[in-house]
A and B are shown apart, each in its own frame.
Chain A
Amino acid sequence: MELLNLNIPSWSDLAYWRPEAILCGTFLAALLGDLIGRGRRPAISFVISVFGLITAGAYSVAAVLHGGAAHTIMGDLIIVDGMAAFFRLLFILAGLATVLFSWTAEEIMGRKRENKAEFFYLTVLMTAAMMVMAEARDLLMLFLSMEAVGLVSYVMAGYMRTSLRSTEASLKYVIFGAVSSGIMLYGLSLLYGMTGAMTFDGIRAGLLAGEVNGLSLLITVILILAGMSYKIAAVPFHFWCPDVYEGAPTPVAAIFSVGPKAAGFALMIRFFYTTLAAGADPSASAPLIELINWPLLMAVIAAVTMTYGNLVALRQLNVKRMLAYSSISHVGYLLMGFVLLTDAGLAAILFYLAVYTLMNLGAFFVVVALNNHIKSEELDDYAGIGFRAPWLGTMMVIFLASLTGVPPFAGFAGKFYVFTAVMDRQWFWLAILAALNSVVGLYYYFRVVKAMFLTRPAEGADTTPLKIHWLQYTVLAVLAVPTLVLGFWFGPLKVLADQAIGLLSTGM
């Protein structure tokens, strides 16, 4: 047994992996804190989680400021580069915002006879697992990180057990999640067979060296796409999404709608970009993409996903369910950036994801804040609520306008970049379809605004002003201000996204 050629990770690798290591430690500490408090003192876990997330965030920001080259660590299975740094910040923002906001959410904290601390440490673990998803550069880590996020999601979806809806949604989620990961795994095994390699670079080299059968590669890619589509909820693997969002507590739905989706996109970008597209040698990539007609495949998925999400969202009377379908349509917009696997398209995805995280989390959090008082997410119950909580209403208008993509909100800038990336390569029908879809979106988003501000509440309904916790206002403001500012001052974020993708292509 020769051990000389094996790549042995060293402890110094951890220096590049501090945020993730801190979050794993935070998870264990918060778990222990919960046990010490005998399950009756969620504050211990809450404080540990917030502290850990902030520390990890500080290290992530420091890593971005130091800039620097990509590092492959942990025996070449993990890569920490510009894109990983970008997604780290995104996930920590989402995790921290969710943990802070949930502290005042009745759906989590108001339940008697149940442990409340679990939510906090599971969120921390999920954040760490999502970060690993954005860093995987090997089939094994790809699979393990997706499963880690999946398993934590299944538990969080079934977390509020007093509701039958929640349990059923999580059963559906876990069963279909298991089957989709099984399908993906079959694709991964075929890919391993074709190339004899596990790392993305090795797979790319193997595909370029060997004589690749177009049909086999297409089938393999479709099988793998199936598993990833489930994570990001693209049609036809979207069906779990509305049920799970509606069944799960709203703070859980909030992080589901941004975290795992962004992580899924990160994984897709790294996987397909390194194996099929540019990589080190851009001239060699075209045959692989053309062999399987990748642009048409992605364009069709994107078009169907956005149209389906929007059309079904039109009919929804439950705000949470409406937001679920709207998140499906946003996945469609995001997939447009994938059609050509160009740097511009992928950078546009990153930009859009950052903006989407802000506005979608914001919209869900407003639903949480309202649920605290009116115990409902039905559109009818939102009648006149804008006058009872004017600031909350205003912020909801900001988030919804941004989700629609109206200038001067951040959502407009995000859509602008995605659209131009597609039009640069003459995919006009896709851009036109997306524009039409945005108009449809205007209708159902505005319906919520109309209910909140233009509809009179029913006779005899409660019209006292709502008391919103200061922590909720703070978190919402932190999300709303960038949603506004990024609409006209988007330069820095765009530079960050371009850099992240640029490093990917010149990269290793």
Chain B
Amino acid sequence: MEITLSHYLLLAGAVFTTGMVGFVIRRNAIVMLMCVELMLSSTNIVFAAFSRFHGNADGHVFVLMNFAVAAAEAAIGLAILVEIFRRRRTVNVDDFKTLME
């Protein structure tokens, strides 16, 4: 069986689902951010695959922008995480009850 576009989409769908499930079941904020990275990576696979099969470079441009934004998001997210760790000595989101009623 030849490798078609659908193969790449199936793989990306599986990675996306993995990341989403991880985000739902894990309670460690760092692991949750890692799961988001998985989801973003799956999107990058989709874009690259479509770009290849549509034969235009728009998808590549999008993936590169996505790299930049993912890096920015990780920087902000981890900065907040380190800041909160300084105060609470924990990065488990279940411990963050200050806001809950």
Tell me the chain B residues, 64-101 only, with Cβ under 8 Å from chain A.
65-66, 69, 72-73, 76-77, 80-81, 83-84, 87-88, 93, 96, 98-99
Q: Mark A235-246, 1 if CB is under 8 A from B, else 0.
A: 000000001001
Min CB distance A377 to B, Å, is 14
Q: Is the CB of A174 within 8 A of B42?
A: no
Q: Provide the bound-state CA to CA distance between A151 and B76, in Å.
A: 7
Specify which chain B residues have a CB less than 8 angstroms from the CB of A63 in the assembled complex. Answer: none
Q: Is the interface of B mostly helix, strand, loop or mixed?
A: helix
Specify which chain B residues have a CB less than 8 angstroms from the CB of A158 in the assembled complex. Answer: 80, 83
Q: Is the CB of B58 within 8 A of A185?
A: no
- A37 interface residue (CB < 8 Å to B): no
Given that A243-B99, A246-B99 are known contacts, is A154 also in contact with B16, CB under 8 Å in the complex? Answer: no
Q: Is the CB of A196 within 8 A of B81?
A: no
Q: Is the CB of A186 within 8 A of B99?
A: no
Residue among B16, B47, B69, B93 with max Cβ neighbours from chain A (10 Å): B69
Count of chain A residues near B, Cβ 8 A: 39
Specify which chain A residues have a CB less than 8 angstroms from the CB of B20 in the assembled complex. Answer: 179, 183
Q: Provide the bound-state CA to CA distance between A143 and B56, in Å.
A: 19
Min CB distance B13 to A, Å, is 9
Q: Is the CB of A192 within 8 A of B62?
A: yes
Tell me the chain A residues, 242-269 only, with Cβ under 8 Å from chain B.
243, 246-247
Given that A182-B43, A246-B99 are known contacts, is A192 also in contact with B29, CB under 8 Å in the complex? Answer: no
Contact of A175 among B36, B49, B69 (CB under 8 A): B36
Given that A140-B62, A171-B29 are known contacts, is A161 also in contact with B69, CB under 8 Å in the complex? Answer: no
- A18 interface residue (CB < 8 Å to B): no
Specify which chain B residues have a CB less than 8 angstroms from the CB of A165 in the assembled complex. Answer: 98-99
Q: Is the CB of B99 within 8 A of A178?
A: no
Residue among B16, B42, B62 with max Cβ neighbours from chain A (10 Å): B62
Q: Provide the bound-state CA to CA distance between A179 and B73, in Å.
A: 11
Q: Is the CB of B69 within 8 A of A144?
A: yes
Q: Is the CB of A182 within 8 A of B65?
A: no
Q: Mark A161-189, 1 if CB is under 8 A from B, else 0.
A: 10011011111101100110111011011
| Residue in B closest to A193 when the chains form the complex, CB atoms | B50
Specify which chain B residues have a CB less than 8 angstroms from the CB of A74 in the assembled complex. Answer: none
Q: Is the CB of A151 within 8 A of B73?
A: yes
- A109 interface residue (CB < 8 Å to B): no
On A, residues with C-beta under 8 Å from B are 139-140, 143-144, 147, 150-151, 154-155, 158, 161, 164-165, 167-172, 174-175, 178-179, 181-183, 185-186, 188-190, 192-193, 196-198, 243, 246-247
Interface pairs (6), CB distance under 8 Å: A143-B66, A158-B83, A164-B88, A175-B32, A182-B36, A198-B58
On B, residues with C-beta under 8 Å from A are 9, 16, 19-20, 23, 29, 32-33, 35-36, 39-40, 42-43, 46-47, 49-50, 54, 56, 58-59, 61-62, 65-66, 69, 72-73, 76-77, 80-81, 83-84, 87-88, 93, 96, 98-99
